[in-house]
Structure formats: structure tokens, C-alpha cells
Amino acid sequence: MADPDLQAAIFQVAQGHPLLTAMWADLWNGAQQRGETWTAADVPALRGKWSKEAAAEWTIGRMVKRLGDARTADALRYGVVLRFFDLDALRAVLPDHDLDAAWYEDFCGYAFVRRGEDKHGFHELVREVQLAWLKTEMPGEYQAAHRHALAHYERLLEPDWAGQIESWRGEPPAAQRPWILEMLYHRWAVAPEEALEIWNTLEYQAHFHWRREWWRALLMLAGAPELDLDERAAARVLRSWGYYHTQGGELDAALDYLERGRALVEKSGDQSGVSGALHNMANIHAVRGDLEQARRLYQQSLEIVEALGDRRGKAATLHQMANIHAVRGDLEQARRLYQQSLEIVEALGDRQGKAATLAMMGQILAAQGQHEAALRAYLESLSILVQMQAADAAKVAKIIADFKAQVGEAAFRALWRKVTGSDELPEWL
């Protein structure tokens, strides 16, 4: 490129950005192959400082017009709806084009493609800019591209995958995970309410069974900025990030996410969401040992759920308030609150809530010397969790083993015989 004015104009557009510079090199090479001669007039006269996004938008537009091959131009124009792509995914998004392996290899050689081992993706800047343009300027084509992608990833899933979620015990088979994430991503673009419902089910199962890696993948997916979640869904995702960091012991991060979630639901007037945020923030203060602050937040949450008639929320909050009294040594008040919570979850048919409350009541009863009642509560809790194949079953089994050590071998065997009618202890005891 011998023309210094042309060099200066291109440098001003690229702003020294490596990707933009490489994309202009692709443009220049294409022009040379077609025998075109460029001058500075072919590059916009820039006044002031462009953002890299604005420069990228102009450069992408230039490339789409100059690529020559309609397949390549449309792959750049519409393929950006794909977070990752292989040849089959691009074929799905561009059904009107005949895309072969040779074309695909050439396409992946462009600077705007970020190559991987088995699948590739568009560079973040290109994808961000082109997605924004496509959503604004060609919304019908944007939706159509997502629908084609959704159909593609649904075909890759097992036919009855949705009916198998509970049997997965928190995470799908490894081979299905990438397709489920991409299916959810594209469904969110075309049917956000349906996507959120599926995501809620998957996220709950990952949380319940403590599948941390898969849980994080779901949270990262829901955080993609181009999904444009409404305030309710965004608050739900922030709350789940709070749970994730709480269970990981990252309490400062957890509080930050929960505070942000509370701000969103307060803005939208969602009192149920406000109650949930207060409850979860109280959980963190309780873990930190700030019991009075935790109690105040639980009380605020309780007042809201009672006003809303939210029995499930009331049961959960009573359970947590009972925990506070138990830590403080007020065992009788703790037992009363657990009992209130237990009556509600039994009426609701909430087996998980019932198991958790029975396990905590067992510890209170044991501390009060009511050993037979304690063992009955422990065993009922364990039975429920084993039936549910829940990870917490191991925790309750450990509590029972500790209880046995506390009361002594002979006394425990006598209790076991009285409660179960058997002289035989399970192997784990």
C-alpha cells in the first residue's frame, strides 16, 4: 500500500485495534485480487475520535459489501447470532446457501473468525457490533436466524430430553450439555418466557444437586448481554449468582449480586422478589455471624410474605429464624419456629423443605435430651432425601453418625431398636 493518504485514513478507522487492522488487510487483499484500486476517498473522512464500535460497524458494513461471495457476506451478516459455529450450524442459519467444506475453510481464514479446535466463533467486537446492528436494522431476519439455529440445536438433542431433567440429578449427560446451552440461548431470543421457564428448572436442579460447573455455565449463559432480560428475569439471575457465591463461600460477591437483584425488584415493585432478596441477604449475615442483622432482615422478609399470603416463603423464613434462635441457645423458641415451618411444608407437599426442617428439629430435640424423637426426625429426613436422590442425604447420615457417638453405642442401639424395630444397624453406622 504505497498511498500515504490511504494508509492514514485506514489507520484512523482502525485506531490501532489489531482486529480492525486485520479486517482492513482482508479488505485490501480482496480488492487487489479483484483488480480494484483504492484511494483515501474510499475511506470515510473522519472528524473527531470514533469509538472502536463505530469503526467496527463501518468496517463490517464495508466488508459485507466488498466480500463478493454472497455466502460469505451472509455468513458474516447473519452468522453472528451463533455464539460458536461449525459448518452444520452455519448451514442451518443460512438454509438458502450451499455451504461446502472448501468454502468453510476459506471463511474461517478471515480475521473476524476466532478459530478453535472443533468449532469457531466470531471475534467479540465483530459479534457485538453486528448483533446490535442486525437487531435494530433487520429484526425480522435477526429472529429468523435465531429460529433456524434453535431448530438445529433441538435436532441435536435427545427427543425426550425435557422429560429426563429430574433423572439427570442436576446436570445433563456431557455430550448434551453444549447443545442444551445453545438451544436455550436461541430460544431466549425468540421465546423468552419459555426459555426462562426451562432455565429455571435446569438451574434449580444444578443448585439442588450442587453441580457447580454446570450451574455456572447456566448462569453465564443467562448473563449474556444481548439476551436483554427483563427486570424480573435479570433479578432472578442475579439472585442465583448470589446463591452460587454463597455456597462457594464467596460472601462479599454473594452480597453484591443480591443487593443488585434487590434494587431491580424494588424498582419493578415486585414485593415477592424483595422478600426473597432480603431473605437471601439475611442468610449471608447469618453465616458471617451477624445474627442481629440477619434477624432484622428475616423479619422484614417475613412481614412481606405474610402480607402476600406466600406460605412457602413463610415456611422458609420461619426455618431460618429458628436457626438464629438455635445458634443463640434459645432452643425452645427454635423448636416452636421449626414446628410452624414443618406444618406449612407438610401441607404444601414440599418434601425437600420437610426433610431440611426435620433434620434441624432433630438436632434441637437431641440437644434437649429427647433422643427418641430426635432419631425419628433424623430417619424421616434421611428417608425423604434418599428417595429424592438428593446430595444432602449424606449430610443427614453424618448427623446420625455423630448422634450415635454422642449418646454412646449401647444407648443408640436401644434407640434404634425402639424406633425401627430392628437390631441391625446399616453399614454406614
pLDDT in tens, 297-316: 999 999 999 999 999 999 99
**17 or 87, higher pLDDT:** 87
Query: Which residues, other chains included, contact 9 with Cβ-Cβ below 8 Å and sequence gap of 6+?
Result: 40, 43, 44, 45, 46
**65 or 242, higher pLDDT:** 242
Q: Is 84 helix (H, G, I), strand (E, B) or coil?
A: coil
Please compute the mean of the pLDDT values over residues 84-101 and round it to a whole number.
95
pLDDT of residue 1: 46
Least confident of 1-15, 273-287, 403-417: 1-15
Q: Is the pLDDT of residue 34 over 90?
A: no
pLDDT of residue 344: 97
Length of the chain: 429
Give the pLDDT band (50/70/90) at residue 83. Answer: very high
Please compute the mean of the pLDDT values over residues 401-419 and round it to a whole number.
94
Q: Are 52 and 65 in contact (CB under 8 A)?
A: no
Q: Is the pLDDT of residue 7 over 80?
A: no
**How far is the C-alpha of 234 from the C-alpha of 265, rounded, in Å?**
9
- Set out the domains of the chain in order of their start, with CATH numbers: 310-429 (1.25.40.10)
Give the pLDDT band (50/70/90) at residue 169. Answer: confident
Q: Is the pLDDT of residue 48 over 50?
A: no
pLDDT of residue 57: 62
Least confident of 51-60, 322-331, 379-388: 51-60
Q: Is the pLDDT of residue 50 over 80?
A: no
Share of the chain above pLDDT 70, in %: 84
pLDDT of residue 189: 93
pLDDT digits (tens, 9 = 90+) for 54-82: 656 656 666 666 666 889 889 988 999 99
pLDDT of residue 40: 56
Asked whether the CA dihedral 209, 214, 216, 222 is positive or negative, the reply is negative
**Mean pLDDT value across the chain:** 87
pLDDT of residue 266: 85
The pTM (predicted TM-score) of the whole model is 0.68
pLDDT digits (tens, 9 = 90+) for 95-146: 999 999 999 999 998 888 888 877 899 988 889 888 888 888 889 999 999 9
pLDDT of residue 128: 85
Helix-, strand-, coil-residue percentages of the chain, each rounded to 5: 75, 0, 25
pLDDT digits (tens, 9 = 90+) for 216-228: 999 999 999 889 8
Q: Is 123 helix (H, G, I), strand (E, B) or coil?
A: coil
Q: Is the pLDDT of residue 149 over 60?
A: yes
pLDDT of residue 159: 83
Compute CA 32 distance to the chain's CA centroid, rounded to the nearest angstrom: 47
Q: Is 429 helix (H, G, I), strand (E, B) or coil?
A: coil
pLDDT of residue 236: 87
Q: Is the pLDDT of residue 342 over 90?
A: yes
**How far is the C-alpha of 62 from the C-alpha of 36, rounded, in Å?**
14
pLDDT of residue 64: 65
Residue 210 cell numbers, joined: 450442587
What burial letters (b/e) apply to 372-387, b meaning 16+ CB within 10 Å? ebbbbbbbbbbebbee
pLDDT of residue 351: 94
pLDDT digits (tens, 9 = 90+) for 253-266: 999 999 999 888 88
pLDDT of residue 54: 62
Nearest Cα to Cα of residue 354 among 385, 376, 332: 385
